[in-house]
Chain A
């Protein structure tokens, strides 16, 4: 089966610096990817998504990059703020899934923003 993993379990950055969170996936049939942010005591919150026909997508202070050749996904957060401290999960979906429902989550990266 497919799996989604992360290279680093924890990441500490200085406030104001840029953060880069990485994600590796193994299913070559995955065609939709989401980044979620989960703060302590809360459910995952959607940040940004990208489809496999794109290699970059930008949101407000966040950018997702997709490299299908090496099955790698990254989330870039510009000017990291204390409120960005959370666990970040990538999740992917198999394009053959007719229901469009079964997302596989990666193990997560904890981002800590230092003052």
Chain B
């Protein structure tokens, strides 16, 4: 299985809602990532987990809360979002976490709209 899956595919939420995005991979990868991608822009790194521990937080507002329950799953909890948070949220995974560089495999993304 060489796939990263993300659910839901689309999400519409109000500014007072709480929702979660889910990501799963079964490639045995030990690093997992959340990216945010606005229309016609490149992906921007948000969070990195290495061996289920948060290793990089790119100064993301606290209304985004990541969680890595196990080595195959990555969640992104959303609360009190703003309309400008509407974007495509991409999950990725890679084999290694240190001592080298590793290709990142991306999921299809969740298209989030905040009303």
A positions within 8 Å CB-CB of B: 31-32, 34, 36, 41-46, 49, 51, 89, 93, 98-103, 105-108
Task: Among B55, B101, B108, point to the contact of A43 (Cβ < 8 A).
Answer: B108
Extra A-B contacts (7), CB below 8 Å, given A99-B31, A100-B99, A100-B100:
A43-B108, A49-B103, A100-B101, A101-B48, A103-B104, A108-B40, A108-B41
Task: Among B50, B98, B106, point to the contact of A45 (Cβ < 8 A).
Answer: B106
Stretch among B13-21, B69-77, B78-86, B89-97 lining the A interface: B89-97
5 pairs of A and B residues whose beta carbons are closest in the complex: A43-B106, A105-B42, A32-B101, A100-B101, A44-B106
Count of inter-chain pairs, beta carbons less than 8 A: 67
| Interchain CA distance A31-B100 in the complex, whole Å | 11
B positions within 8 Å CB-CB of A: 4, 31, 33, 40-45, 48, 50, 55-56, 90, 92, 94, 96-109
Knowing A43-B107, A44-B106, A46-B105, the reply to whether A101 touches B50 (Cβ < 8 A) is yes
